Structure 1
């Protein structure tokens, strides 16, 4: 009886997966069908990594895309975050790939690109969501209302990440900041870590990984309104080797020395930090806690669009654009990196709902939307080549410097 039950379950599992693949069931209700999807023959980039182009017809016109498929079970293959060495900075994807000798890469998270609503405030270039590189936590997520990018589906948060664990298995998860600021007398919760926007009444920590960019933007806007005025109640404390080294009424800029951390407070957070004096002992601790099991080798922000072969409820059905996405199959052992082409004939792109369907069509079971438009870029680098080749046509006519990306590496 046990064997028979297992056989029936196996048949049902295959049937459900097939129905999902061909668009059966109610999960795709209202999502435009992708017609005439044509996958070109794959080209080997190296062991476990292939590239191919594809074409399809979306609701707004023809689209062309570029796809990297990565076998994470291949021990010679690895994936990591690409970024310009600091959180508050931007660089072209091809340059980021060249610096790390990546064989393939796509652009990553949405980022703080403009500050038209806050005259005189510098745009930081920092990404929206959490970031982990080489197993090291770089930053936490800004409040949902402070994000840049298209509307997220219901139930999704800026804490959502796509990444690969230290076990070499890819997954979608959430990374929540846990941290504290402790003195001899008091302890306060840390509500920010290398973020371009802090929660109202919060205290944020900035480490050397932040870079030289101004920290003023962190005190602008509110948890629900990115364009709200900057706070006029702020305070900054520099802690060096466990003691307060200096204080200031407003957030500053410039490199943060090794062994130092800068605390920025707004509203109630500022009032708490004003209790500190030069020479006071202060301990600052922060970590990114995953919702699932296991630590990340790399993680990047964005938002999920496909989970378990089904599109998330509430995906945008109307707005088409050039887009970038990452996907997983084979229980996290197979990675897909996709970027649409921004050439003149294909610039209309796809809606997010169509992107979810496309990711399912190419084989993904889980998929994650990344920054699109002029940021969408996919590059590859052939054996013996010193420079990466940009495979798609960026919609802005040239590569846009971005906050981060996903890099694929092959150990020779």
Structure 2
């Protein structure tokens, strides 16, 4: 494998050290029947290979990108459609940004059967950071989409890459306030499709034009609960209230404007603000484990320090997407399985954790699966992104975000 990578890099000139490290990360064989194919170079420091294994529901076939973050030309960032409340296929996002590889990311608000007349926003569940800039915070746990999670998991869990170029699992907590004169309110939401009961959320130009009504539906424990009857919306432009409404609206939020949405007690607090009043809105995402993150997205951990988390589902097979971290955060693995059209069984979460450990990861993070699972690579010399796996249903699904690998 090493000779293949070194030969390719020699043809394009330089970069052998990073490519060799990516190729020489020989995967383990801990997952039962795990078979890994030969690596092919996507770019310096980035390799692609296929693998197969047999799960309890039958054979599974997958695709793996290995990213060496020690290679100085390699970087990782969030792929998203430009706003939080929107979706696009990963191949389109990859072509738009010129990445050499990537996978789909977080679970997202895909349907609203329980709330007639309320539009799905397409916004992701967990926090998101792109290019070092916070985009959104996490919804309450009871409002999440996705499978059952292991014990101790929060919607604040993220996979991120720091400004130090080191990948890690972390949590991002919202720290925000709304100040009006001597009054101060705690901000409990930021560009998210669901607010905590009694809370206040801030929506900026990064949210997009999706309706903000969805944010007041459901409860912290029941996504299907009715929408709140007590809501309020305040528009703040350049630090001053310019409009108020008793019902959350929709439409793009202009730059320099923040729209505050409240429900129950939060709505009553906002109703005290008057047009013309000065208001200061501050929102930050604070990491728990380390320094500033260049990029981050939600999902949930399944492997920490080489050990599977307790309570992982060992019965339900599904098509999966996952990311893994190894070599003290200097190596990143991006994985997607082939869809049900090709392989019916998929993997359980317990099997996925074992497979990620067998492929070489110390920590692993489960991302959105099923019809969303997509892995792409691109010829770095101007080609378009190619979907490497076989998505369920035979075509890509538009998704909220993903992880992109850049070289340059």
Partner of 2:66: 69
Contact 1:42–1:51 (CA<8 Å) still a contact in 2? yes
* 1:62 and 1:345 in contact (8 A); partners too: no
Structure 1 unmatched runs, 5+: 1-20, 24-33
In 2, the alpha carbon distance for the partners of 1:318 and 1:161 equals 25
Q: 1:234 aligns with which of 231, 236, 244?
A: 231
Deviation by residue 1:125-172 (Cα, 9 ceiling, x = unmatched): 000000000000000000000000001111000000001000000000
- 1:177 corresponds in structure 2 to 174
d(CA) in 1 for partners of 2:269 and 2:241? 14
Pairing 1:83–2:80 present = yes
Alpha-carbon shift at residue 273 of structure 1 (Å): 0.4
Q: Partner of 2:268 in structure 1? A: 271
1:218 aligns with 2:222: no
- Residues 195, 218 of structure 1: 8 Å contact kept: yes
Structure 1 match to 2:35: 38
Q: 2:242 aligns with which of 240, 245, 249?
A: 245
1:22, distance to aligned residue in structure 2 (A):
6.3
User: Hey, what does 1:286 align to over in structure 2?
Assistant: 283
Q: Match for 1:329 among 314, 326, 343?
A: 326
Equivalent residue runs for 1:2-401 within 5 Å: 34-401=31-398
Distance in 2, Cα, partners of 1:383 & 1:68: 15
Which residue is 1:9 aligned to? none
Deviation at 1:183, TM superposition (A): 0.4
Secondary structure, aligned partner of 1:276: coil
Question: Does the Cα contact within 8 Å between 1:347 and 1:395 map onto a contact in 2?
Answer: no
Name segments (4+ residues, structure 1) moved above 4 Å: none
Residue 393 of structure 2 aligns to a residue in which SS? Answer: coil
**RMSD, aligned CA:** 1.1
Per the TM alignment, residue 185 of structure 1 is displaced from its structure 2 partner at its CA by 2.9
- Give the Cα separation in 1 of the matches to 2:315 and 2:277: 56
Separation (CA, whole Å) in 2 of partners of 1:238 and 1:53:
51
TM-score where L is the length of structure 1: 0.92
> How far apart in 1 are the matches of 2:382 and 2:388?
15
Query: How far apart are the structure 1 equivalents of 2:132 and 2:288?
Result: 16
How many residues were matched structurally? 382
- Structure 2 residues not aligned, in runs of 5+: 1-27
Paired residue secondary structure (1:51): strand
* Counterparts of 2:321 and 2:234, CA distance in 1: 39
